[in-house]
Structure 1
Amino acid sequence: MRIATSSSTDLNAASAVKAIKEEIRKKISSPSLMLVYYTETQDVQSIKNEFKKQFPDTYIIGCSSCRGTMTDKGYVGGHNIAAWAVQDESGAYGSALCNLSSENDVFLQAKQVLQRAIDSSGRPGELPALITLHTTPGHEETILRAITSELGVNVPIIGGTAADDGVSGNWSLFDSDNVTSNGIAMAVFFPSARVSYSFHSGYAPLGDSAVATRIDGRTLLELNGQPAAEVYANWFQSATGRVIDNDDLFAQSTLFPLGRQTGIIHGMPYYTLSHPASVSEDGGIQMFCNLGEGETVHFMSGTTEMLVSRAGRVVDSANDHDKNPRDPIGGIAIYCAGCMLHVRDSLNDVAANMSLSMHQAPFICPFTFGEQGQFLGGEIAHGNLMISAVLFHKDEL
């Protein structure tokens, strides 16, 4: 199993993809699977066509990333494409994409995408060692339930919700044949190398909590029977001494999200985070993920320094999680776009920390509007302000 990465800032799609091919071919002659991440400034149809032309026998899925990408070669901001490729003659890989139709059930469509991806791998009836999931915003929890329902057990997932530069709907997904702004893309891995994983928030509860007593879709309307935005504002002022600006809620809440306890490991609780996005007209808080009525939400806190160092720590955790840690041959990471925007002046440090923890092995990392992963306790979740990582190890199965 061999892994290679490449990226390009070339404004011309054809020359950008050709340059990526030339660099990847220095290490890999015929990729089994490619993951491609790109900014909204790209002509997605053009880059899709070019990747299909340059890699006609490779399974490919692409997902838009917020304002840049990151690889083992560092952080690249602005207009760019980054690609991750694996060649594994002893393994098997497959992928599938669908454009979500309002006429069909999302749960059913997600199961169909997963089954098509598995069928394309030539391993029908087998459980993949890993699933890479990319979807456009809105149905992440339903899609995760569909995956678990189809497989019957939780399989490690690394995923990220397609992003754009300004939450304006300019996100997209593609495979070798299609482009969509409302869809699901999955890749399945049956690798010859062992996979380890980690999914972390890194934030801590400050003590305030309340029950979600009224929900409307992804809008948290009431906490303990009171307007959610009012309760949150009181928590924020008590913690910071500042009055929150509702017009700047997305930015100001990055270090103070809401969390739901997902499990306990070694006596310590861990949380799935939800990022407040904006205040609704009726005093609710619009979120980037679903909450359930009756769930307890905690007021969480993080620091800028933590957001910079956390990427490396999550990779370290994935390596420690492996039963026999070895230098990885490569990896994939997902880093929240909200966190990225908060630490944008330190992204070279984030990349350096991650590369150090990867032992300089090739990796790729987009910036997404939601993160999906598997906690060490086994739970599969969709959250915000999270980081997910998987590593592939030299020791074979």
Structure 2
Amino acid sequence: MLKVKTGQSTKANAAEAGREAASYVKDEIKDMRMAFVYSGVQYDQKELIRSISMELPGVPLIGNTSFTGVITPEGFTSGDDGFVGIMSLSDSDMTVGVAGMEKEGTARETGHKVAEKALLAAGKEEAPDYFYMSAPPGEEEYYLKGITEVIGRVPFFGGSAADNTITGEWLVYAENIVTADGVAVAFFYSDKPFANKFTGAYNETTNAGVITKIDGDRTLVEIDGVTALDKYREWTGASAEDVAGGNLLGYAVCKPLAVKDRLGDLAAIRHPMNGNEDGSIAIGNNLAVGTAVIQMEASVDELIASVGKTLEELKAKIGGPIGGLHLVHCGGRRAGIDARIDEVTEQIKKSVGDIPFIVEFTFGEYGYEDDGNNTCGGLMLSFTAFGK
């Protein structure tokens, strides 16, 4: 049977914080297969991981830095001097292969290599039942392409590393690898049920157009032949100041854009990050010319309520007893929710009761819906359930 435990700490010293967080889970070490670790950028991450490893010898660790805090059953955990949350998975019948590496060559080439390393770590030649990925913001789709080259289309979940100030201090880690430019994966082999609910949980408006020009992968230049910022302001009623530079990042939390998958099962949110002087928009994920982009919307009340709603959908999707929950919640949504973050904790506890869980706050979310492809998005929820 799968056993999941969580721990947390806000001690200022990284080593002490790691020891305290690990102390909550170490009694299950006999069958512990891996542990997720999410922490604040204030810490020396290598020292933090080293201290947890000393408490959990032989247990593969994987994770990344999280935006402003984590949530466990103990509540929202944050601190000016740092924070850490841990969730361990123990199951004698489960095999997990964890691997991480700094970028070597292109992101796609690195994804290919890390997948081979994870297979080796698991002692397997066949594809896993599902996998987890963590990467920095920027090239997530390409890391995923490289992994898929090795194992094919396998259900996945995870999120992009974050920091507290959106200044690129984020880090990804797996065992002894701590890097700002690389990727980490965990390949899971288990006969227990698994389910992922991936959603923006926004309301679709009637505002839609075709992307007619982009610059690179993530700069939206024109919609329907009109400068992107002009079209966005027309749709949303935003002022010039609302969308100027970094102001757009916060404004768009309640009014983002989205692209649908080929069957319409998933509206993958595309977060407008920056309003550029030339009228283009920096977007948080990849775009393609000739595809439709839709304006979405939600109030802060709806962002909070969506957590409980998504959990209910996840519970229905797995259709059986749940051993633990790994909840990826966008950091941008968390910023929009701001001081009401405890209401998110209330939503979770009301929905799942005493099921152990951990929430990380990311700058990119990964998941899938129905038979669609694995997808990366922003301002989204990627909620994962591990069956008992």
- Interval containing the TM-score (normalised by the shorter chain): over 0.9
Residue in structure 1 matched with residue 179 of structure 2 by the alignment: 180
**TM-score when scaled to structure 1?**
0.92
Which of 293, 302, 305 pairs up with 2:301? 305
**Cα distance, 1:4–1:64 mapped onto 2, change above 3 Å:** same
Residue in structure 1 matched with residue 96 of structure 2 by the alignment: 93
Q: Which residue identity does 1:244 align to in structure 2?
A: D
CA deviations 1:311-341 (Å, max 9, x no partner) are 222222122112xx23311111100000000
Which of 268, 273, 284 pairs up with 1:272? 268
**1:156·1:373 contact (CA, 8 Å) conserved in 2?**
yes
**Cα distance, 1:37–1:300 mapped onto 2, change above 3 Å:** same
Partner Cα distance (1:219, 1:287) in 2: 6
Whether 1:207 and 2:206 are equivalent positions in the alignment is yes
**1:331·1:361 contact (CA, 8 Å) conserved in 2?**
yes
**TM-score when scaled to structure 2?**
0.94
Whether 1:233 and 2:233 are equivalent positions in the alignment is yes
Partner Cα distance (2:19, 2:386) in 1: 27
The residue correspondences of 1:117-196 to structure 2 (distance < 5 A) are 117-125=118-126, 127-152=127-152, 154-196=153-195
Q: Quick one: percent identity of the two aligned structures?
A: 26
The number of aligned residues is 383
Residue in structure 1 matched with residue 10 of structure 2 by the alignment: 9
Residue in structure 2 matched with residue 355 of structure 1 by the alignment: 349
Superposition deviation, residue 28 in structure 1: 4.5
**Cα distance, 1:135–1:373 mapped onto 2, change above 3 Å:** same
**1:263·1:377 contact (CA, 8 Å) conserved in 2?**
no
Partner Cα distance (2:273, 2:3) in 1: 40
**1:264·1:377 contact (CA, 8 Å) conserved in 2?**
no
- Over aligned residues, Cα RMSD in angstroms? 1.8
Partner Cα distance (2:311, 2:71) in 1: 14
Segments of structure 2 that go 5 or more residues without pairing to the other structure are none
Name the SS for the 1:117 alignment partner.
Answer: helix
Greater mean deviation of Cα atoms: 91-100 or 9-18: 9-18
**Cα distance, 1:28–1:305 mapped onto 2, change above 3 Å:** farther
**Cα distance, 1:98–1:163 mapped onto 2, change above 3 Å:** same
Residue in structure 2 matched with residue 246 of structure 1 by the alignment: 244
Name the SS for the 2:234 alignment partner.
Answer: helix
Residue in structure 1 matched with residue 112 of structure 2 by the alignment: 111
**2:368·2:374 contact (CA, 8 Å) conserved in 1?**
yes
**1:315·1:390 contact (CA, 8 Å) conserved in 2?**
no
Segments of structure 1 that go 5 or more residues without pairing to the other structure are none
**2:69·2:360 contact (CA, 8 Å) conserved in 1?**
yes
Name the SS for the 2:24 alignment partner.
Answer: helix
Q: Which residue identity does 2:149 align to in structure 1?
A: S
Partner Cα distance (2:370, 2:298) in 1: 21
